Amino acid sequence: MATDKPVTPTEEQLEILEYNFCKVNKHPDPTTLCLIAAETGLSEEQTLKWFKQRLAEWRKSEGLPSESGSVRD
């Protein structure tokens, strides 16, 4: 499986990802990331990629630079 192929999570996976992003942690630690990946059935790499993209979208919507700097969300 090519790692650069974009993954489109199912609606159920998106609900889990969004819940964790909004309610749990925008910056999941490796253990949390592993648990979220296991819960969604996505790889840790795919899960991390989703969080990074989602964080960039969130920062943009908040009027913040898309890359995180010294300020934590």
- What pLDDT, on a 0 to 100 scale, did the predictor assign at position 17? 97
Q: Determine whether domain 11-57 maps to CATH 1.10.10.60.
A: yes
pLDDT in tens, 36-64: 999 999 999 999 999 999 999 999 998 88
Distance between CA atoms of residues 19 and 6, nearest Å: 21
Task: Give Cβ neighbours of residue 40 (< 8 Å, ≥ 6 apart).
Answer: 9, 13, 16, 17, 47
Distance between CA atoms of residues 37 and 13, nearest Å: 9
Domain ranges (residues) in the chain: 11-57
- What pLDDT, on a 0 to 100 scale, did the predictor assign at position 73? 45
Residue with tokens 């253990």: 31
Higher pLDDT, 5 or 12: 12
Taking residues 22-41, report their average pLDDT. 94
